[in-house]
A and B are shown apart, each in its own frame.
Chain A
């Protein structure tokens, strides 16, 4: 008997009572102003939310937030300040020493400051190795809570996807909060019209 069969047999033998799948309805929190709630949640987790107006210059805004960024990665056509397209490289290790990556997020979650990012670049390493991250989300693409978030993912196809809420962080040395444990030190989420 294979290990799989052995394990499944043990499970069947030892499962004494089967419990029903519970009622999944939940009256989950809604926010009158999702944008304001998102900005507050993201701030608490160490990031910054920016709401762009029609006519605002995206590239100027990027420069204002990250004046010191030299090596800038993006595969988005509207980002003209990018110094390279991360989809052109052939080894993800070349992504090391990226100062800023500008990427696309699909929607934001108000209750926790997270943005859903299904992989839309060649190497997902870009999301984690860059010193700073700017996530562009289409204005209005925002849900109240994680229940709504997963409802949106139902039936979607992705190789890899991640909810990112603020910068990489740790408190492993005496509970002192430090940003940039391994991943980005700074995260800006910009809602673009």
Chain B
């Protein structure tokens, strides 16, 4: 009955101390978000506006994307369209090849992850350097991100120190974050200055002006685009916002929700190619147009990738990003995975306590928890429902529909208190693994009520 999530989570929580650190660190980010959200009275109004703008823009994609293309082209950018992963990777590769580029400096893009772009380009002989500190650490450790905004949240400073000793010859045993960060800064300078091409993701694409907006704290996207002659910006088509007025709503919500800051250090607006270079924008569908037709899950397209649903999720905080089988973990990842392939990624839907904290904090009001609940109702139709749970809920149904039998079962339940351990804690009681059953009360509530013992 164990899902892949619960098996992987068991591995994560084996290190109790680290699990506690992970849980508390992410909760601190959530607390910072709460503080930010209470600094002005219009917070809930902004969330509603953000949701409404996304519902508008995602239901007018055909006109907004064309408006964006027209304005971006007028600005001097070159716009490409890619249906799927294959076409996306080939498009990027063709641009790079056309420029004789051998190495590319890249800031964070969840889309590039979605399309496994790095491994594709590396297989073609390209050198791809991640420039976000967390992403760079993971790249050098040959690991994947475990959070979409805090990619290396699962890595300990000692591990970073050890890796950097080998890769950059840093001082032995020195794992001070300031020291290590500044060593990476020195090491990366050369890579920024001498890259043949740069790539950035896109946080927002403004239809009315044809510009793209990229938000970072490190300034890595800006450093990356400042020296090479070629900038490739890649975007899922739901990144479109109608105009600058709408953009104001999102730039107020994004960092406050994601990291508890009023704004990222850099909110960069790219309109025209720099210094006689070329500016390419690749618009990608890769399944997004299919989601449009799915009314129950349409609102996943609202997502601005702030990561707040991970920070607030009690299951994510205590099980880590690697416990999920889709590359985006947490509540939004559970839903996006199911939309990608409900059979392949169904293990993740159990990684939810249905507390709905994610739905309550999402800055664009995606009904994340409610959607997970709906997926669970459909598991049987995908033939991936747990056989053991089906037997159990079948049994519960049988009992619930027969009050006399139900009451009798309750009457005899206290017997379990005195049963030998092997009869209670065995392979059939998976719940009892790592947990103790509470003692059954001597009398049921029903019995006490009838005997007038409860007022």
Contacts and interface: CB of A to CB of B under 8 A. Distances in A.
Interface in A1-24: 2-4, 6-8, 10-22, 24
A127 B244 contact: no
Contacts of A32: none
A61 B84 CA distance: 55
Nearest to B190: A96
A145 B252 contact: yes
Contacts of A180: 181-182, 185
Given A2-B81, A92-B226, 6 more contacts: A19-B52, A113-B262, A173-B177, A180-B185, A182-B188, A183-B218
Interface stretch (B92-100, B150-158, B316-324, B345-353): B150-158
Given A124-B222, A178-B181, A164 B189 contact: no
A26 B49 contact: yes
B237 A165 contact: no
29 contacts: A11-B65, A14-B292, A15-B292, A16-B293, A17-B295, A21-B56, A26-B49, A112-B263, A113-B263, A124-B226, A127-B222, A147-B249, A150-B245, A159-B274, A161-B269, A162-B222, A165-B267, A168-B217, A168-B218, A170-B133, A171-B259, A172-B132, A172-B150, A174-B156, A174-B177, A178-B177, A180-B185, A183-B265, A183-B266
A124 B262 contact: no
Contacts of A92: 226-227, 275
Interface stretch (B38-46, B420-428, B444-452): B38-46
A173 B293 contact: no
A7 B266 contact: no
Contacts of A19: 52, 55-56, 59
Given A15-B61, A182-B223, A167 B81 contact: no
B73 interface: no
Nearest to B268: A162
A114 B266 CA distance: 9
A172 B141 CA distance: 14
Interface in A172-191: 172-176, 178, 180-184
Interface in A101-115: 109, 111-114
A170 B268 contact: no
Contact of B275 (A10, A15, A123, A146): A123
B133 A149 contact: no
Contact of B59 (A18, A111, A125): A18
Interface bracket on A = 35 or more
Interface of B: 25, 28-29, 39-42, 45-46, 49, 52-53, 55-56, 59-62, 65-66, 81-83, 87, 131-134, 137, 150-153, 155-157, 160, 177-178, 180-182, 184-185, 188-189, 192-193, 217-220, 222-223, 226-227, 237, 242, 244-249, 251-252, 259, 261-272, 274-275, 283, 285, 289-290, 292-293, 295
Closest 9 interchain pairs by CB? Answer: A183-B219, A125-B226, A22-B52, A172-B134, A112-B262, A181-B218, A14-B293, A10-B289, A176-B177
Contacts of A128: 219, 222-223, 226, 266
A45 interface: yes
Nearest to B228: A92
B289 A11 contact: yes
A29 interface: yes
A145 B262 CA distance: 11
Given A18-B59, A112-B263, A180-B182, A29 B219 contact: no
A75 interface: no
Contacts of B295: 16-17
A124 B225 CA distance: 9
B17 to A, nearest CB: 13
A98 interface: no
Interface of A: 2-4, 6-8, 10-22, 24, 26-29, 41, 44-45, 92-93, 96, 109, 111-114, 122-125, 127-129, 145-147, 149-151, 153-154, 158-176, 178, 180-184
Contact of A163 (B53, B153, B181, B267): B267
Contact of A170 (B60, B181, B252): B181
B185 A181 contact: yes
A29 B155 CA distance: 39
Nearest to A6: B83
A145 B252 CA distance: 8
B178 A29 contact: no
